[in-house]
């Protein structure tokens, strides 16, 4: 019975670390999103099956979370 709390603690800690790394990565990548616009549009078009055209993309991170702006 003592193994279950230890494994839950390890799993919870791992999940928290992964989420923190994802958030840190987003904070670094979002301001540079326009540089990767073409690659992102190819991925979105292949996933949705609809051609997508965007002239400008901008992202930032605010206290409430990520913010995206797109100009079509």
Task: Please give the residue that has the higher pLDDT: either 2 or 55.
Answer: 55
Rounded to two decimals, the pTM is 0.60
**Mean pLDDT, residues 1-9:** 76
The confidence band for 49, taking pLDDT boundaries of 50, 70 and 90, is: very high
SS3 49: coil
Domain ranges of the chain: 3-71
| Strands of the chain, DSSP E | 56-62, 65-71
Half-sphere exposure (Cβ direction) of 18: Cα atoms closer than 13 Å: 6
């Amino acid at each position: 019975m003592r193994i279950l709390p230890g494994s839950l603690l390890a799993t919870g800690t791992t999940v928290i670390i992964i989420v923190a790394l994802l958030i840190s990565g987003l904070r670094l990548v979002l301001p540079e999103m326009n540089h990767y616009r073409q690659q992102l549009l190819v991925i979105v078009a292949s996933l949705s099956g609809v051609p997508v055209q965007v002239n400008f993309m901008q992202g930032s991170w605010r206290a409430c979370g990520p913010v995206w702006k797109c100009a079509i």
